[in-house]
């Protein structure tokens, strides 16, 4: 059955009250040219008048002045009745006439800049004043009554509204329904940001695990596909974390893929935890090369040499500005790189990377900005029927609590390698083993069902470079068989959490072969 909601709604009156005035002047002139009467409030009304538009003041319409520093201005029955009345209900129409209400067919509202206020470190008092009350109420009212009213919450929607008013003489139900869905998503995200701020302001077990979890995410882009071409995917932004991967600026290359983003996130996470200049090479979300040193160019060369075969088609991460010397290493023949993430890129490095190598046209360069020390944060993963929430394993371990449990102690050089290896192994899929020599990752065993298999793979990757290297294990050794393999390969030092019922057996094996073993007391599974 056809109803009035099936037809395009002709816009006679619009209520406009916005904080973000991007594109507003052009939009309002378009409305006025279509014969729309514009009602507005405070700063928005003054802005529109300055643009040469005739605008009626809401306070004059309601007969009720703005008060309490603008806390109360649109919260009035003559405003909400004019939005919420149902055009196919005679009783609603009689109430509208009886109480002298005007009818609004378009509401244009975006909310107080709460997110930006928090981001610039405003006081609690100022932050609270930027919690919008009237705005969300107007948005929800118009969205609820989308059968007869259109709601615009973003400047991105203005063009479609004006185009439909020209082509259809009004706004179609399909557009009104889409705008309503976007409006409810907009207010939901806004409320989630407020809830997040309150929880962060009062840390503790209750706020860390709230009764309801409402992530404040915003669609950034629809991706070409997911992990595989038959899977659809999109990227959502959480702007409460800065600087971060999603908030980075892409300087060059085709759009990032789902897998690119996963690999870049792993690369960024690893290099953020290294104090020295560091480079990491990621393949299928595991590090196949990593190195630290006094210069980024030197670290890059050694990281790529860690597993040259796997480095082809990889993603790279850096914790320093990519300079020309580093770019020169990346431009050498025989190398192919998918994407690079770094705090910054020198102009000379960008020029080299985007003009000289064969893969220049497509390489993605992502600049995320300078960062400080790693901060506590939460991570979430979906399981069938729900979500898991945990503290991210992103903070450095207190290495002053490590202990040497063998007769042999590591040398100073081995201690440095153990520290670097321990920083890398925590980011490798369990069961995880890495071999490091001279602050360079030379072998990785990742994601195997038995730890001894991961040891075998790491040693095989290292080949003749294994003698003199150190070995890191993300969890304890259940048996001494891994130590026997390490000893046969020439490994000289081991770092692991400890905690196995066979710790004494493992320690005894190290002592037999003159291998030092450091116990950290902290496991780093990654599933």
Based on the residue annotation, tell me whether 144 is a catalytic residue of this protein: yes
- 55 strand-pairing partners: 38
CA dihedral 256, 261, 267, 272 (to 10 degrees): 100
Catalytic residue among 29, 220, 252, 284: 284
What's the full length of the chain, in residues? Answer: 527
Distances (CA, A) of 328 to 22, 79, 364: 42, 64, 17
CA 273 – CA 375 distance, rounded (Å): 11
Give the CA angle between residues 55, 59, 60 to the nearest 5°.
70
CA 80 – CA 480 distance, rounded (Å): 74
CA dihedral 219, 223, 227, 229 (to 10 degrees): 140
Helix, strand or coil for residue 57?
strand
CA 281 – CA 303 distance, rounded (Å): 7
Q: Which helix (H) or strand (E) holds 186?
A: helix 173-201
List of long-range contacts for 429-432, beta carbons under 8 Å, 24+ apart: 429/285, 429/286, 429/526, 429/527, 430/474, 430/475, 430/525, 430/526, 430/527, 431/474, 431/475, 432/473, 432/474, 432/475, 432/524, 432/526
For residue 147, give every residue at least 6 positions away whose Cβ sits within 8 Å of its Cβ, in sequence order, or none: 3, 4, 5, 86, 173, 176
Catalytic residue among 93, 144, 220, 252: 144
Beta strand pairing call for 493-496 and 516-519: parallel
Based on the residue annotation, tell me whether 284 is a catalytic residue of this protein: yes
Residue 196 in contact with residue 240, Cβ under 8 Å? yes
Active site residues: 144, 284
């Amino acid at each position: 059955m056809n109803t009035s909601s099936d037809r395009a709604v002709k816009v006679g009156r619009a209520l406009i009250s916005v904080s973000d005035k991007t594109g507003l002047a052009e939009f309002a002139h378009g409305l006025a040219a279509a014969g729309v009467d514009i009602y507005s409030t405070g700063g928005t009304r003054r802005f529109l008048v300055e643009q040469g538009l005739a605008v009626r003041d809401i306070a004059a319409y309601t007969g009720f002045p703005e008060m309490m520093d603008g806390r109360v201005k649109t919260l009035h029955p003559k405003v909400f009745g004019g939005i919420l009345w149902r055009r196919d209900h005679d009783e609603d129409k009689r109430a509208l006439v009886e109480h002298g209400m005007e009818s609004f067919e378009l509401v244009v509202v975006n909310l107080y800049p709460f997110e930006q206020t928090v981001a610039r470190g405003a006081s609690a008092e100022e932050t609270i004043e930027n919690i919008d009350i009237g705005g969300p109420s107007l948005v929800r009212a118009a969205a609820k009554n989308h059968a007869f009213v259109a709601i615009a919450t973003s400047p991105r929607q203005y063009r479609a509204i004006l185009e439909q008013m020209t082509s259809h003489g009004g706004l179609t139900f399909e557009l009104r329904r889409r705008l309503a869905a976007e409006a409810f998503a907009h207010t939901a995200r806004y409320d989630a940001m407020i809830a997040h701020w309150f929880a962060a302001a009062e840390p503790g077990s209750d706020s860390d695990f709230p009764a309801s979890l409402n992530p404040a995410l915003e669609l950034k882009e629809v991706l070409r596909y997911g992990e595989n071409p038959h899977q659809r995917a999109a990227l959502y932004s959480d702007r409460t974390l800065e600087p971060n991967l999603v908030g980075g600026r892409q300087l060059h290359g085709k759009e990032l893929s789902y897998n690119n983003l996963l690999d870049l996130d792993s690369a960024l996470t690893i290099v953020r935890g290294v104090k020295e200049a560091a480079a990491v090479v990621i393949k299928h979300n595991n590090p196949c090369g990593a190195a630290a040193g006094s210069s980024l160019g030197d670290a890059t060369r050694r990281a790529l040499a860690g597993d040259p075969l796997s480095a082809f088609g990889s993603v790279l991460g850096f914790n320093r500005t990519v300079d020309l010397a580093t770019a020169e290493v990346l431009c050498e023949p025989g190398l192919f790189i998918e994407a690079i993430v770094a705090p910054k890129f020198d102009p000379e490095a960008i020029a080299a990377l985007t003009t000289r190598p064969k893969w220049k046209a497509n390489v993605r360069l992502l600049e995320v900005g300078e960062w400080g020390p790693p901060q506590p944060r939460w991570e979430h993963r979906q399981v069938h029927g729900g979500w898991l929430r945990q503290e991210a394993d992103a903070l450095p371990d207190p290495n002053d609590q490590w202990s040497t449990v063998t007769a042999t102690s590591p040398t100073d050089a081995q201690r440095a390698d153990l520290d670097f290896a321990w920083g890398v192994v925590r980011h490798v899929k369990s069961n995880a083993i890495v071999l490091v020599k001279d602050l360079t990752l030379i072998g990785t065993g990742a994601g195997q069902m038995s730890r001894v298999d991961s040891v075998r793979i790491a040693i095989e990757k290292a080949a003749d470079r294994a003698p003199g290297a150190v070995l890191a294990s993300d969890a304890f050794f259940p048996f001494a068989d891994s130590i026997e393999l390490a000893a046969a390969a020439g490994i000289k030092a081991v770092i692991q959490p400890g905690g196995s019922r066979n710790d004494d057996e493992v320690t005894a094996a190290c002592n037999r072969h003159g291998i030092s073993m450091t116990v950290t007391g902290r496991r780093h599974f990654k599933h």
